[in-house]
Amino acid sequence: MKKVCILIIGLFFLTGCAVNPVTQKKEIMFFSDQYEIEMGKNGHDAVLIQFGKYDDTSLQRYIDQVGQGIAGVSHRNNIPHHYMVVDSAVINAFALPGGYIYINRGLLAYLNNEAQLAGILGHESGHVAARHGVKKYQKAIGAQFIILGVAVATESEGLVLGSNLVLTAILQGYSRKDEHQADQLGTLYMYKAGYNPMEIAEFFKILERMEKSTPNLLEQLFASPPPTPQRRAKTKAYAQELTKGKTAGMTVGHNRYISKLRGLVFGPGARDGVIKGTGYKNRYFRFRIKMPEGWKVQRGDTTGSLVAQGPSKRYLSQVIPIELKKELTPSQLAAMVEKDSGLQRLGASRITIDGKRAYLADYRAQSDGGGWLGLRIAYLTRGKMGFVMANISRLQEFARGKRTFNKVIFSFHSLSRQEASKIPLHRLRVYMVRRGDTFSSISGKFYRTAKYADDIKQFNGMDELKTPPLGMFIKIKPLLPKTL
């Protein structure tokens, strides 16, 4: 404890006050650049667990290349920056402290040129430059706890745990003041990197339209931001101030950007899985499972997970795939889950599920409301992959629910790679406009009907055009089945 106290005091005097790279004003800051970078590095692992890296080496290289151009002109070009596409259909982008910046593949589909991409990466680089993430973390859990956490982290995994808290705090969104500053910095950085800053205002126009037509698509984009019309007006005014109305020669990069989207997964990805009725199958984690008829089935909070509830709401089932660092037996996986969980084991046995060894355990646990719950959890492993199938009810109804829970557990089936590959992924197509093409004719070419002409215009940011420009690349969305 004495060593921890010395570290606390030393850290306070070393990093208790710092100059903000953007404002050049002194502010309370308990993390040095190096600690912030380590926090981002460890938080990166949490990002990969929650979202997964999108599997496209060429696209990843391109995004990082554009990002490095932005990082080079940012206020914190003295620290390494890392840019990555994550495998999420949600329209969002976010940044961890220390220069770790992520953009969801779902957002890439709705951008229309490289300048807009640069603006988004500039916005997130602005959060890093102004240290918004670190300050949000400090405010969320208190300065004393942070100092203690960092000090202890020098000899433990405390920094990793803290980084997971950072990711949670950041995904909850920033203040309007921070978002406005990041908008301004993003506009400045894209301008300094040679891009036309008016394009980020065009992107906000797309968002504004989407808010009216499909607001659920944007529920996580820049959580708690200023209203889009206000952001667009301020960003446009600042872009005009920077360019003084002269944008000739500035990079837009429409065709170059759109060409990179050919084959981009659109909608649910390999990790998300497919829900059809009460059945669920997952391409990436290679399994399928079926819930009882009449149950409501939906994706869980972590990648590849599933949550289902009976119509009476008395029974709840969760399926959670886990990528393990090393191979474990089912009983070892159970021990890992049980550790510090508050679960009180009532009994356990070795069983067989889908021809594979598994471990079944019954527990009781206290709910947040003080009542007691009964849980039947099955554990299954396959190489470095683990599966936890948790079935829950009130303790007084647990014995009656076991038969239903067993139906869920024994419906689990591990898929071969060939079986998993047959689970469809829906991808964007890219088309170059030819002489004589109209939006209606393009709609007919890809959808066998002209009724999607306006949708093609909107998706490509061409609302005000009567005909598509010759030689321009445009994005074509797949039609997604309603069961996804």
Provide φ and ψ at 276, rounded to 5°. Answer: -135, 110
Q: Cα–Cα distance between 83 and 288 in angstroms, integer?
A: 33
Q: What confidence score (pLDDT) does residue 480 get? A: 79
**What are the backbone angles phi and psi of residue 214, rounded to the nearest 5°?**
-140, 70
Closest CA to 442 of 261, 111, 452: 452
Q: How confident is the model at residue 331 (pLDDT cuts 50, 70, 90)?
A: very high
DSSP state of 305: -
pLDDT of residue 17: 59
Task: Tell me what pLDDT residue 44 has.
Answer: 92
Spell out the long-range contacts of 42-45 with Cβ–Cβ below 8 A and sequence spacing 24 or more.
Answer: 42/159, 42/160, 42/162, 42/163, 43/96, 43/97, 43/100, 43/163, 43/164, 43/166, 43/167, 44/82, 44/96, 44/100, 45/160, 45/163
Q: Which fold has domain 274-421?
A: Protein Transport Mog1p; Chain A (3.40.1000)
- Are 59 and 262 in contact by the 8 Å Cβ rule? The answer is no
pTM, 2 dp? 0.83
- % of the chain beyond a pLDDT of 90: 66
pLDDT digits (tens, 9 = 90+) for 100-141: 999 999 999 999 999 999 999 999 999 999 888 777 666 655
H-state helical runs in 250-370: 254-259, 330-338
In sequence order, which residues have a C-beta less than 8 Å from that of residue 46 and are 6 or more positions away? 163, 164, 167
- In the chain, which segments carry CATH 3.40.1000.10? 274-421
Residue 39 is predicted with a pLDDT of 85
422 has pLDDT over 50: yes
Cβ atoms of 428 and 478 within 8 Å: the answer is yes
Q: Is the pLDDT of residue 81 over 90?
A: yes
pLDDT, mean of residues 350-378: 94
Confidence of residue 24 (pLDDT cuts 50, 70, 90): low
Q: How far apart are alpha carbons 426 and 393 in whole angstroms?
A: 37
Domain 429-476 matching CATH 3.30.160: the answer reads no
Cβ–Cβ under 8 Å, residues 266 and 219: no
DSSP 3-state assignment of 35?
helix
* Residue of higher predicted confidence among 383 and 483: 383
The Cα 286–Cα 305 span in angstroms is 12
pLDDT band for 161, please (50, 70, 90 cuts).
very low
Both tokens assigned to 454 = 């306006």
CA distance 409 to 143: 45
Which residues make Cβ contacts (< 8 Å) with residue 421, sequence separation at least 6?
A: 283
What does the pLDDT read at residue 29?
57
- 228 pLDDT tier (thresholds 50, 70, 90): confident
Is there a contact between 196 and 247 (Cβ–Cβ < 8 Å)? yes
Alpha carbons within 13 angstroms on the beta-carbon side of residue 290 total 8
**Largest distance between two CA atoms of the chain:** 79
Q: What single-letter amino acid sits at 322?
A: I
The mean pLDDT value for 446-471 works out to: 95
- The mean pLDDT value of the chain amounts to 86
pLDDT, tens digit, 9 for 90 and up, residues 8-23 = 334 433 445 566 667 6
The radius of gyration computed from the CA coordinates of the chain, to the nearest angstrom, equals: 25
**Interatomic CA distance for residues 114 and 255, integer angstroms:** 9
Q: Would strands 356-366 and 344-353 be described as parallel, antiparallel, or unpaired?
A: antiparallel
- Beta strand 413-414 with 287-290 is antiparallel
Q: What are phi and psi of 219, to 5 degrees?
A: -60, -25
Q: 416 pLDDT band (50/70/90 cuts)?
A: very high
Which own/partner contact pairs does 419-424 have at CB distance under 8 Å and 24+ positions apart? Answer: 419/286, 420/282, 420/283, 420/284, 420/286, 421/283, 423/270, 423/274, 423/281, 423/282, 423/283, 424/274
Q: Does the structure show a pLDDT above 70 at 316?
A: yes
Res 6: pLDDT = 36
In 74-197, alpha helices (H): 105-108, 114-129, 132-141, 143-153, 158-171, 176-192
